Amino acid sequence: MKISILCAVLLASSTLFAQSKKDLQNEVSRLKAETQALQLEIDELKKPIEVQLTNKHAKASYGLGVLVASNVRMQGGDSLSLDFMIEGIKDVFKNEPLLMQQQECSSIVQQYMQEAAEYKSTVARSEGERFLAENKNKEGVKTTASGLQYKVITAGNGKAPLVTDKVTVHYTGKLLDGSVFDSSVERGAPSTFGVTQVIAGWVEALQLMHEGDKWILFIPYNLAYGERAHSAQIPAYATLIFELELIKVN
């Protein structure tokens, strides 16, 4: 009798264990499936949103974003958090309670942008001075009394321009990090202008060149756009590098 009871208990326990194991396996499978589904959703959210400018509202909205961002970057606001900027915009547009009132926002932003611009200018000036100090000792680089540096790539033997002349040139302008901010070469058409209608570094270099010359110019900030940012691409105190080809003196 006792043996029969024991066998029954063992059989029941074995059945319950098998059932529990099966339930556990089913639960694991269910959780795996849910995890995979969530991962797919996360992957979809991570994909960049395709912006389609299909109407005037979309175009104006995107255009305003470009203008605001360009202006902020030009003033040195590269370190601002895009996420928090978007939250501030959302709170205003949705009429949500503001985390800071407008007067406080104005004061904080003004101080921040001033400090950011000063820091960016200090870095740009320091980097430019260090670059020019090293560059002047490189082979083939010549330095004029003004501080303009240049290197002859191709020597021409044509006419030299006067300050009263117009010239036709091809050029590519770069920052010290190699980024191109302007290029007639990329546009596929040379540019024509008066010798004195350009930055001081160009005015000096052009009068030293001859038709057919191709030089690399290394222009310190005081012979370029000076102490103020010229555009979103050219910051304050920027040392500029130009590949300049004098095609024709007009």
Does residue 188 sit within a domain? yes
Q: Quick one: which H or E segment has residue 166?
A: strand 166-174
The total of other beta-carbon atoms located within 10 Å of residue 166's CB is: 13
Does residue 112 sit within a domain? no
199 is catalytic: yes
* Phi–psi pair at 213, nearest 5 degrees: -70, 145
Q: Give the per-residue pLDDT at 2.
A: 52
For residue 49, is pLDDT > 70? no
Q: Tell me how many domains the chain contains.
A: 1
Share of the chain above pLDDT 90, in %: 59
Q: Which of the residues 221, 225, 234, 237 is marked catalytic?
A: 225
Does residue 91 sit within a domain? no
Q: Which of the residues 150, 218, 237, 242 is marked catalytic?
A: 242
Q: What would the two tokens of residue 148 be?
A: 């303009």
* Phi–psi pair at 61, nearest 5 degrees: -65, -45
182 is catalytic: yes
Torsion of Cα atoms, 220 then 221 then 225 then 227, to 10°: -170
Average pLDDT for residues 141-162, to the nearest whole number? 96
Does residue 238 sit within a domain? yes
Does residue 212 sit within a domain? yes
Identify the weakest region by mean pLDDT among 49-53, 123-127, 150-154, 196-200.
Answer: 49-53
Q: Which of the residues 112, 131, 165, 181 is marked catalytic?
A: 181
Q: Quick one: which H or E segment has residue 15?
A: helix 2-46
**Residue span of the structural domain in which 239 resides:** 133-249
Query: What's the pTM value of the predicted model, to 2 decimals?
Result: 0.68
Does residue 46 sit within a domain? no
- Do the beta carbons of residue 174 and residue 242 sit within 8 Å? yes
Average pLDDT for residues 32-52, to the nearest whole number? 74
Q: Give the per-residue pLDDT at 9.
A: 46
Average pLDDT for residues 168-176, to the nearest whole number? 97
Identify the weakest region by mean pLDDT among 82-96, 99-113, 228-242.
Answer: 228-242
Mean pLDDT of the chain: 88
Average pLDDT for residues 173-179, to the nearest whole number? 95
Does residue 25 sit within a domain? no
Q: Which of the residues 150, 199, 221, 234 is marked catalytic?
A: 199
Does residue 11 sit within a domain? no
Q: Give the per-residue pLDDT at 103.
A: 93
216 is catalytic: no
Q: What is the CATH number of the domain that holds 150?
A: 3.10.50.40
Q: Give the per-residue pLDDT at 11.
A: 52
Q: Give the per-residue pLDDT at 10.
A: 47
Q: Which of the residues 131, 165, 182, 193 is marked catalytic?
A: 182
pLDDT band at 3 (very low <50, low <70, confident <90, very high): low
Angle at 147 between CA 141 and CA 149, to 5 degrees: 25
Q: Which of the residues 171, 218, 221, 237 is marked catalytic?
A: 171
Distances (CA, A) of 243 to 25, 98, 113: 69, 50, 33
For residue 205, is pLDDT > 90? yes
Q: Give the per-residue pLDDT at 8.
A: 53
181 is catalytic: yes
